[in-house]
Each structure stands twice: as structure tokens, then as C-alpha cells.
Structure 1
């Protein structure tokens, strides 16, 4: 579990039983719930006693976003309040100390669903009196994914194939003959429209939760931690934006499906400076806290979509995010192993610069797109997937930031950031550090794409069409410098043939490379 539950320090690897040997249920024990296992599907009975552990000391081990710390602690304390006398909330410095206080041992064991990080999985296996169950909260189990991967017979593991098999397995968005509703599995091509020529989408605002006395208590505790220990958190404080209870999460889901789903698809990849939320669901944080089960979310979306004939590309795009991409990232995290985070196929070694690490969007950063996205992360601890992949990830890839350090930065800086999400999504997909195990090509682009898919370039000091000179867009120039730096490695990739041909046609490649070498790690 992340910070507020107490992240265990790195420990020697322990022998782990195969995932398919772990029991699925243990209704006769107290259930130890990590702070990302807070939904009812992590319990085996309606009256099962529960142990919850909170560690404010763990917050000092890594500088997480203030809003993330608030959300996780709020969710943990709200769950304890909901369960009442069935739950024991223990505040302690370490998990071992908490379990000792709770009287956990051989006569009185606890059971726990397999946690979501490698370190936590090692921890629960070495603690006395803990029975480890198979993981929950994803649309297929780890043994199922392993069998699917073996069944590929050496063929490349592709998210699209996995997603289609998940839909077949669960009967999601299928017609009477078992084919995809509408005749197509994937409507991604219909969901790539640029933003409209206005400041905001014509769509209802997201549903926002109302803070209560539990949130006030969390804020007081976080303020006290900072008074006593100095700057501990990154980012700004502010009203809680994301669901911290099961009831809130269900309300947020229903509001999205009723008022925002149809608008979601067409501009799914678009960005507007004055509209950070666009038509996105805002459900990644409650999903990653375990407040919602992804299969229930997908089934409810299908039910609502069929009842009112929702815009099919939007409906399919949302279901693909929830049961396709999310489960794909989860399973690759375990399938590729603990060393995956240390992958570095492109030899990227640059440390994250201080202005990036500190989420500083101010005068030092002149590129509108990067300044805006850093500001959004600083203020909210969130942006949607395209600013993450294209603006933040693209900048880091072009500059050769260390991929493991970048994944850790994403984990700490985003309210929905967890090891399993960020390792695959950042190290594998965004930074191409695993050489293609997670994605078929590097995800980076020049300023023209940012200009087409956003309004960020209006009034920017840089011109996305300019490669060299004072107005040279750092994304445009950085794109060509990246291709030149890695052209030998990328030449064998069929998806990179056309971009590399474009590199050979540049008349100003040499001055461009000299310019980018001078720019170095300085903010754009």
C-alpha cells in the first residue's frame, strides 16, 4: 500500500507461493485491509471483523502530494467509521508494531488479500499470524492472465487482444451472436477529435464530494506533521476532489454515466487549459482505493448505455479504460517481474531537475503546455492521461530522465499513483525503457500534436512549427533530437520507419542538435 498505510522499506526477496496456490477466501479470520482495499469485495462476509493500519510516520519516508496523503487517510478513516465496532484502526509506525498492538499471532491470525506492491507482498509473507489470499479488484486473476500469456505461444502480448478476450470472458458489450456491439471492438479512431474552439467542453461539471469532520481531522493531522517535521509534502492543499467512501464513489459513477459519458469519447485525448477535467470520469482514484470493483463499473456502464442508447464510441472507450487498460497495466506489473522498474533500454540516466521534482510551473518554465500541466499536478495531484503521456512523459523521454526515478515521481505526485500503475505506464509505455515489452513504440511527439490537440500553444513564447532559434518549440526540437540520439536502436522498429525517414530530410539537423545540447536540463 502507498504512504498512509506505511510503505515497507526494501527487503530481501522471499520465496513466494505461486499465485494460483493462494486461497481465495478465509471468512473465519479478521481481514487486514490495506488502504487500497477499502471496498466490500475485499471482505468474505457481511460481518467479518476488520483490521486497518494507519502510519503517519510513513508519510515522512517519501515526499508525496499533500492531496494524495489527505485522500488516502480520509478514505482509511471513513472506512473505519463505516464499519464501526467491526473495525479496529491501529495507528503505528510500522505494520509489525500495528499487528502486535492488535494482538495478531498464531492463536488469532488475520487474513489479507495480496497487496499491490512487491515490498508489501514480501512483508505480509514474513509476518507471523498473517494468511495471504489471492489478490482482488481486477477483472481477471493473476493465474488467469498467466495462462492467457502462455497460450499466446510466443506471440507478442498485446493489450488489444487481452481486452477483447476479457470482454468475451465476461460477456461485456457483446451482441446476440457473441460479437462486439456495433460490429467493432475498438472505437479509438472515433475518440481522437481535437478540442472544440471554446475554453470548456459543453458538459456538466464533475460531481464533487463534500468534506466532513473526518476530512477536517486529517487536515489538522497533516498540518501538525508539517509543523513538527518541516516540508513533508509536495503540491498544494485544497478541497478533496475524489471519492473517499463507497457511497461517494457510486455517486460519482452514476453522475458520470448520466451527465458526462456521451461527451467523454470524442475529446478523450484533447486538452484545454481552462478545463482540466474535460469529460473524464474522475474514477481512477476511487478505483485504485478499491472502493469500486472495475467489473461492476463496466457492467453498470453497459447497462446505462444500452438503456438509453449511449454514444457507443464513448461507452466502449470508457469500458476499455476500466477493464482493458487498467487490468493490462496491473497484470504486466507482475508478469514482467520486480526488476521491470529498473529497465533502461534507452540508457536514460538524467536525474529529474529540481524545478520538475518540485512541481514548479512558474517563471522558470516558459512552455505553456508544460507549465500548465505542472501547475495542474501541483494544485490538484491529477491530470488526465494525455497530459501525463504526451506533455510530462514526452518531455522526460526526450530529455532522457531516469525512468525509475520518473515512475517514482509519478507515484508520489498523483492521487491515483501506485507502484503497479506507474511502473508499467511510465517505465514501459511512456519511457519505452523496457524496449517494447509494454508498448510497440516510444510515445513521444513534436509540438504539432500538442497544438492540434490542445489550446496550450496560443500565446506561448515558442512556435510548434519552429525547430531552431529563439522560438523553437522544445517539444518539436526535442522530438528530432530524441530520434537522432536513438536512431540505431529504433531503426528495427517498423512503426518508426516513417519518422526516421523524416529525420533524414531535415535541412537544419546539425544546428538543431547543437541547440538542444545547449538547452540541456534547463527548464524550457
Structure 2
């Protein structure tokens, strides 16, 4: 009997249908796709994210034609029941909740995961042999095993990590980096239909969204994703590396690839991305520091996060080593950038509100750092990132936020909390110049919320952090602050209002 194959909304590329390796559905297998309203009811997603996911699903269904049965239902269970199916196969879903669902269903066979370079058994074998699960060690393991940027047994260029070349501040006096514009898709009738349906859901009071849904910015089909990848490789990869960690108020995308949503929807495979980038370097079309930085993001960090999500287990979700319990304030939940005076935070919130995306440094060193300094509940922060970013999924955000951004796991994933005062933002951006707050001020009306927040955070957690070799020197700097008492009083008075 031919089994029907079920495609989830983040399994939309060719790798999930008949790859010919014996571990997937046959090339002739009928397909079912289920658009579940309950998924959008459970969380208040960014409107642009909901639009992108539904547009991508409907584009894929249109490509598959008569092969697919596309069901719009309240839940996945109802959708499957409506199909009147026999045996079903499905590739390993990307969340624990979805995996539990498919395993609870009769006559459903779960196939191996797709869309990643490293198998789960391979990662576990590597991890079980490590004294600490550090990304750099895993990244080198992936490079060796997949022969990525290698010259024989050595890393290309003689060094594994060129991060030291990729931390330059933005060019002084420039409003933009000057990189060629990223690929921008052209909307279709499918997008118009999706937007009409989302409007109707909101009018019915059934579903509520946050953020704005302008013209779609991210690929919703394999063809668009391939075009976006080619545009990045040919026009933007060359300038990606040096200013990878920089921020500019007038240039939210810099030279970043904007491919994360396409990878996480399954429209692109990581192997084609990193192998194409390496080919560009070997052809002399992009410098090694840019290519290595991109490969590290895709073959290093993305793979690492995916596997830690499963390796750490479900209990990792409730990690809260710093005991942070404060609720997220309304202005944050509503992406109310206009309520915020701090220019860095207002700029980044505005980018998220308008696009559902911002690159990794604003996420980590502006949004995440502010949440960490304010002591917000890491589970709520994780949920916020999941809901508000077009590339956010449970597997993406749980390790990224709980582990790296909020240090809620106490160092299982990273060696120190990633937070800083305003001096870092000032050095790596043009955001501080016109701001009403001064990055070198801790106390007073013009005290930078990040500078004051940083020292307040160190004071609150001194007992924990003074034994951490990577941050103990900063903690002991508290002893030199003559205005510490005034700073702490100021932070108590500031409360949870927008800075």
C-alpha cells in the first residue's frame, strides 16, 4: 500500500519529498498538508510571520497540484480525520509538541529529520564524549566530517575561526553599509488570499496578531529562496564578514543573508548554502573571513542549536538559574517602539514591529541584553522571540534564548552572560550619538539604561558571577563605583516603564 506523506509547514523543500535515499517517501506518494487554525490561536504571532508561513504552505501546495490534499482545519487531528487516510509517513517534526502528537497517532511512521547536516545519533555520539558542549568544538567537528573549508586535515587559511576579523564597527559617518540590496520577492495572488484570510480571522476575534504585515520580504517558495541565495552569494557575501556584528540605524540588514527563514521553512538545505559559499571563496569571489563567518552561522551555530534542543531534554525549557521572574511589560509585548526613548532599543523594536526580523547582534546585545538586565522571566522572553520573529521556532529560540541570551541554564551552553553597558553599543553602532541618554553615564537623567542596567545586573547576581572567570573582573569593578547606591535607587525607581 502506498503511504500518504504528511508535510508540516516547515518541511516545504524537495528534501522532504522523495530524496531517493530510502529514508523518505516514494516520489509518487500522495501528500497531505494541514493548515491548523489552532496553531495561530495558541500564540499571538507576528502578523508577518503568520503571513509568511501560510503563503509558503499554499505556494508549495500549488506546486504539488493534484498530488496534495490541502486541508484547512482547526487542529492537525481534525485535518487528518477529514482526509480519510490510510497509513501515513512524516519526517521527524521540529518541535517536541509536534513529535509527541505524531507519535500518539495510529499508523503514522516517523521518518528521520531532514534539513540539517548532522544526524541526531552522530551528535549524541560527539556530545557524550565531550567534557563541555562548546560550539567551537562542535563546529570543528562538522567542518572535518563534511570537509567544509578544509585543506586536507587543516582548516582553510590555517585557522578555524576568523571571528576576530569580523568585529569591525560600522564605517564612520555612513548611514548605510552600502551593500547591494537583498533579494525581495514579488507578491502573488496567494499572498493576497492569505492577507484576506488573516484579516478575516482578526475581524472574527478568533486570532490576534502583533506587528505589521507589509509586502512580504522573505521567500515563500523554493524558487524564491534559491534566487535569494544566489543574490547573497554573488552580491552580498563579499562584504558580509567584516561588519557582521555592526549595527546602523538606517541599515537594518547590512550585508546579512536574510536566509534564516528559508532554511527554517525547509526551502533551502544547509548543505547547498555552505557548499556554495565555499565555492565562491575557492573561485576568488569572496574573502575567507566572510565565507567562514557565514559557514559558522549555518554549519556551526544553527546545527548546534538544533541538536542541543533535543539533547538537553524537555526540562531545559524551565531552566532559570538566575531566578528571573518579572513579567514582560505591555510596551514590549506590543512592540511599541514609539513609547521608547533609548534610541538603540526603539530602533530595534521598530525593525521587529515592521518586519519580524533583525539580525543577531540586535537580538542578542539589545533585545536580549535588556531583558536579561531587567530580570524578565526567561520562558516568557523565549516565547516572545518565538512569536515575533519570522525565523523563530521552538527549536530555534529555546537554546538561543534560555541558553545564550538569558543565561538561564547557568552556563551549560555559553561561558558567560551576554550583556554589556552602553559602551559596546556605542562602539558597534551609530545608535548612541543622537540618543537622549549617554553611554558613559550610569546615574542621572541622561544615564544610559544599558550602562546602568549592566551594573545593576552584576550587583544582583554578584554571588553567582564573581566566580565566573570570564566576567569576574567586571563584577569586582562594582567595588570601585562610588555612585553604586544612587544607581541602585535609580534602577528601582525606573521599574518596568520603557527606557
Shorter-chain TM-score above 0.5 = yes
1:87 maps to 2:68: yes
What secondary structure does 1:260 align onto?
helix
1:399 to 361, 364, 374: 374
1:41 maps to 2:6: no
Compute the displacement of 1:235 (Å).
0.2
Tell me the residue number matched to 1:140: 118
What secondary structure does 1:323 align onto?
helix
Mapped to 1, the partners of 2:364 and 2:38 lie a distance apart of: 32
Deviates more, 1:411-420 or 1:36-45: 36-45
Mapped to 2, the partners of 1:62 and 1:182 lie a distance apart of: 46
Tell me the residue number matched to 1:149: 127
Counting only pairs closer than 5 Å after superposition, residues 22-33 of structure 1 correspond to structure 2 as 28-33=2-7
Mapped to 1, the partners of 2:246 and 2:28 lie a distance apart of: 45
2:393 to 402, 412, 418: 418
Counting only pairs closer than 5 Å after superposition, residues 286-301 of structure 1 correspond to structure 2 as 286-301=262-277
2:303 to 311, 327, 332: 327
Contact 2:7 2:90 in 1 (8 A): yes
Q: Encode CA deviations 1:469-503: one digit per residue, 9 max, x unaligned.
A: 00000100000000010010112211012211222
Tell me the residue number matched to 2:105: 127
Tell me the residue number matched to 2:142: 166
Tell me the residue number matched to 2:36: 55
Compute the displacement of 1:230 (Å).
6.8
Compute the displacement of 1:458 (Å).
1.6
Counting only pairs closer than 5 Å after superposition, residues 161-240 of structure 1 correspond to structure 2 as 161-175=137-151, 177-197=152-172, 198-229=174-205, 232-240=208-216
Compute the displacement of 1:266 (Å).
0.6
What secondary structure does 2:327 align onto?
coil
Tell me the residue number matched to 2:23: none
What secondary structure does 1:128 align onto?
coil
Mapped to 2, the partners of 1:230 and 1:468 lie a distance apart of: 46
Contact 2:40 2:207 in 1 (8 A): no
Tell me the residue number matched to 1:476: 451
Equivalent pairs, count: 491
Contact 2:148 2:278 in 1 (8 A): yes
Mapped to 2, the partners of 1:80 and 1:318 lie a distance apart of: 31
Mapped to 2, the partners of 1:203 and 1:172 lie a distance apart of: 26
1:356 maps to 2:321: no
Deviates more, 1:177-186 or 1:42-51: 42-51
Counting only pairs closer than 5 Å after superposition, residues 308-347 of structure 1 correspond to structure 2 as 308-347=284-323
Contact 2:41 2:206 in 1 (8 A): no
What secondary structure does 2:6 align onto?
strand
Mapped to 1, the partners of 2:74 and 2:207 lie a distance apart of: 19
What secondary structure does 2:401 align onto?
helix
What secondary structure does 1:443 align onto?
coil
Tell me the residue number matched to 1:77: 58
Compute the displacement of 1:57 (Å).
4.0
What secondary structure does 2:337 align onto?
coil
Tell me the residue number matched to 2:21: none
What secondary structure does 2:154 align onto?
coil
What secondary structure does 2:33 align onto?
strand
Compute the displacement of 1:309 (Å).
4.4
Deviates more, 1:221-230 or 1:190-199: 221-230
TM-align CA RMSD: 1.1
Tell me the residue number matched to 1:24: none
Mapped to 2, the partners of 1:29 and 1:465 lie a distance apart of: 64
Deviates more, 1:292-301 or 1:157-166: 292-301
What secondary structure does 1:461 align onto?
coil
1:466 to 425, 441, 462: 441
Any stretches of 5+ residues in structure 1 without a counterpart? Answer: 1-26
What secondary structure does 1:349 align onto?
coil
Mapped to 2, the partners of 1:375 and 1:125 lie a distance apart of: 40
Mapped to 2, the partners of 1:29 and 1:268 lie a distance apart of: 46
Compute the displacement of 1:206 (Å).
0.4
Mapped to 2, the partners of 1:196 and 1:38 lie a distance apart of: 39
Q: Encode CA deviations 1:395-414: one digit per residue, 9 max, x unaligned.
A: 00000000000000000000
Mapped to 1, the partners of 2:304 and 2:350 lie a distance apart of: 29
Deviates more, 1:303-312 or 1:413-422: 303-312
1:110 maps to 2:84: no
TM-score (norm 1): 0.92
Contact 2:466 2:476 in 1 (8 A): no
2:282 to 285, 306, 309: 306
Mapped to 1, the partners of 2:44 and 2:290 lie a distance apart of: 36
TM-score (norm 2): 0.97
Compute the displacement of 1:456 (Å).
0.9
1:456 maps to 2:431: yes
Compute the displacement of 1:186 (Å).
0.3
Compute the displacement of 1:48 (Å).
3.0
Mapped to 1, the partners of 2:440 and 2:139 lie a distance apart of: 37
Q: Encode CA deviations 1:168-205: one digit per residue, 9 max, x unaligned.
A: 00000001x32111001000000000011200012100
Compute the displacement of 1:56 (Å).
2.8
Any stretches of 5+ residues in structure 2 without a counterpart? Answer: 19-25
Tell me the residue number matched to 1:505: 480
Mapped to 2, the partners of 1:476 and 1:426 lie a distance apart of: 21
What secondary structure does 1:52 align onto?
strand
